[in-house]
Structure 1
């Protein structure tokens, strides 16, 4: 299964090589040209003989994780977070360290040895470590080094009623959507940007958008689903099973209303369920793309996902399929009627 394979690849920000190679191998021969830029973005173009506005679809390859920043005399690894992670979810999680994927577990001082004030506050990353079973620093250094990236060790799988759980669904779900779109043919010139280092500052998208310079960009993301207790229905940002989420704005961008109007019209004409992202928290690659060169119009379509930026996320597979259908319908509409701006 495509999403399972993507989820189980390790690609903490700045270490996206395995994801890039996987995507490159999958699309080779199905696009006109593939480029890997100096930052590590993979940009695939299908534009030979195509007429019309150039549309760029963007999804980031990287995931949140950790880095080894020190090795204690005991052989335990000191760590720092890469990307925004709630420190409360880290302790006792299984991880894979470095390119050799050395198994480890995130540990902390046992609760029965903690002082009262320590038990009353979440453990900070500085109080955590990764245990790889080494007896001392010398033994640990045989397998790992300072600067090694650490990914969560999670088996991805479908479960429940049409749900899927796994790590890095932000934004391997978006990568899966783009790969599905790549299987279809369009008369438009298209660029597919699989970007790096989104989780640490939208860095890959900034470079990719400048290079491609599209007439319109579409960011495909995952976004927080707030459909869990104790939140009430009206407090949820998005809901699993209600279709792809269209964004009006977030911390990084305000989407041109004409784009939203066209997306809604396309969805309703095609009978595709959709929802609006009802929170403006967080940022997306749209913010970087929108401000590139002389300004690039950009829209954001997201797959709702529970427990985002944690070791395991949960999404609805039908939402993923509907996201593909909405983007396909949107591109077909541009083929027929041109850009909405």
Structure 2
């Protein structure tokens, strides 16, 4: 692989780290390593979300910027007599993307390689072949001949199963392919925002958060927000693009490379109107490209942050990402860089008066 620059090396470490919901230790440690040099303090909530605190040039409002550490994956539920592992999804999966995909089972004894299989199509009826295989009918093959041999590898029910994929820079070097961009890219944006604000020129205190258990109900964002009690919050996440074959502008309208997405509405959050107008003004004034978007399904950590303590004006800023909730997803580096710039400029302008004005009913 061609030598990676600092940003790409960070993205590789974050996305290569294994961490499904409830077992985020690896990506949390990577995030800590990168963000700690720019933070005044590192602490955690009781579910395991990491919180980096950084005071600015004035004792102004508390600004929370959050990306979630967890990725979608699976959990081993049982081992059958022949040594095959039965599993259940952790987070949202579409069954059609799973068969013949490599996975890593994280055990107390070390990592075990497996592959997802099912009954072969050659022995199915013509009608059955036309239908997607239900996830409940799939299994993970680790090459064991029976249950005892499988358990000798260290595998037990409850073990995490993580998709396997290596970080890849495409032939177009601005196109990046990796597992877990949802949502290690959000964590990376938080880190780079702290890096660019290291001189302290921001009139507020910022809290950069890597939340846990987003994919199973936005849980870490809720506990972290209750701990921080922010005045303003931003969820930094991934979003749906509309630039692949078969997708119409009725389905999705964003394109990779055209700027970060400012989400007006999703299934969990209505963007706070005052905050939305402020963010759009910043983007226009600083000539930062952006895309406005909505999504009828799904949501980000803003969904629980905005209804914590007395209520928090919140908004989601996302990166258009192809092939979400699969083994590999794709982003455009320009969207990443512009998202970092947008977040930094937003934070620099959030002084006490600005926050009071945008919160007014």
- Normalised to the residue count of structure 1, the TM-score between the two structures is 0.96
Among 90, 99, 112, the alignment partner of 1:102 is 112
CA shift at 1:263, angstroms? 1.0
CA shift at 1:119, angstroms? 1.2
Q: Is the 8 A contact 1:15 1:149 kept in 2?
A: yes
Residue 143 of structure 2 aligns with which residue?
Answer: 133
Deviations 1:77-107 (A, max 9, x none): 0010000010110000011011422111101
SS in 2 for 1:323: helix
* Residues matched between the structures, number: 341
Residue 168 of structure 2 aligns with which residue?
Answer: 157
Q: Is the 8 A contact 1:52 1:338 kept in 2?
A: no
Distance 2:294 2:36 in 1: 38
| 2:228 is the counterpart of 1:220 | no
| Between 211-220 and 93-102, the greater mean CA deviation after superposition | 93-102
Residue 71 of structure 1 aligns with which residue?
Answer: 79
| 2:273 is the counterpart of 1:273 | no
Distance 1:163 1:224 in 2: 16
Distance change in 2, residues 1:48/1:230 (3 Å): closer
Deviations 1:232-268 (A, max 9, x none): 3454242111100001110001111221111111111
Aligned-residue CA RMSD (Å): 1.5
Structure 2: gaps (5+ residues)? 1-8
SS in 2 for 1:182: helix
Distance 1:110 1:266 in 2: 55
Describe how 1:155-304 pairs up with structure 2 within 5 A: 155-161=166-172, 162-185=174-197, 186-187=201-202, 188-233=204-249, 235-304=251-320
Deviations 1:190-219 (A, max 9, x none): 111110000000000010000000100011
Describe how 1:106-117 pairs up with structure 2 within 5 A: 106-117=116-127
SS in 1 for 2:215: helix
Residue 337 of structure 2 aligns with which residue?
Answer: 321
Residue 31 of structure 2 aligns with which residue?
Answer: 23
SS in 2 for 1:314: strand
Residue 330 of structure 1 aligns with which residue?
Answer: 346
SS in 1 for 2:196: coil
CA shift at 1:37, angstroms? 2.1
Distance change in 2, residues 1:317/1:336 (3 Å): farther
CA shift at 1:337, angstroms? 6.0
Distance 1:276 1:146 in 2: 43
Q: Is the 8 A contact 1:53 1:338 kept in 2?
A: no
Among 39, 42, 47, the alignment partner of 1:34 is 42
Structure 1: gaps (5+ residues)? none
Distance 1:336 1:201 in 2: 32
| 2:156 is the counterpart of 1:145 | yes
